[in-house]
Copies of this chain bind each other. A is one copy, B any other.
């Protein structure tokens, strides 16, 4: 009796699993218009080209609309400590839909958001992170760059962001 019941249960389980797998296979997994890897790699290529032009090796991170890492590149001789900073700059920029420079201005001692950097597992509150906006003006992700002065970082991030807007 138990054996038969177990056998039936197994078949039932298998059928359920097959059904749910078939369903899963047909589900659309990504929002329409979200940043593609092709776009992200174009953003990184544009940023890399700018970094080479100004001769500063950079860490470059790109996240999608969900704020999750899509592509990353650390140029040769770029700071090891900037892996995390570039990534956090991108996450920070998408988290608040503004440049990390703008967020930083509001987070200085005495300013309204003072101390915000300890939230979200660590935000970066200086320049080098920018939202990525497509040609329809939809935020589709963000770029974070770290490796030089914050102005250099931001100029490289801008070069990357321009590639996303095309």
List residues of A whose CB falls within 8 A of some B CB.
17, 20, 24, 26-34, 36-37, 40-41, 64-77, 79-85, 88, 92, 94-99, 102, 104, 107-110, 112-127, 131, 133, 136-140, 149-150
Instruction: Determine chain A's interface SS by DSSP, over half rule.
Output: loop
Q: Tell me if A65 and B24 are in contact (CB < 8 A).
A: no
Copies of this protein in the complex: 4
Given B94, B124, B150, which contacts A119 in the complex, CB threshold below 8 Å?
Answer: B124
Residues of chain B within 8 A of A69, CB atoms compared: 72, 74, 83
A7 to chain B, nearest CB (A): 14
Q: Tell me if A79 and B97 are in contact (CB < 8 A).
A: yes
Which of A67, A84, A107 has the most C-beta atoms of chain B within 10 angstroms of its own C-beta?
A: A84
Q: Tell me if A80 and B104 are in contact (CB < 8 A).
A: no
Q: Tell me if A20 and B150 are in contact (CB < 8 A).
A: no
Residues of chain B within 8 A of A96, CB atoms compared: 79, 81-82
In whole angstroms, how far apart are the Cα atoms of A107 and B127 in the complex?
13
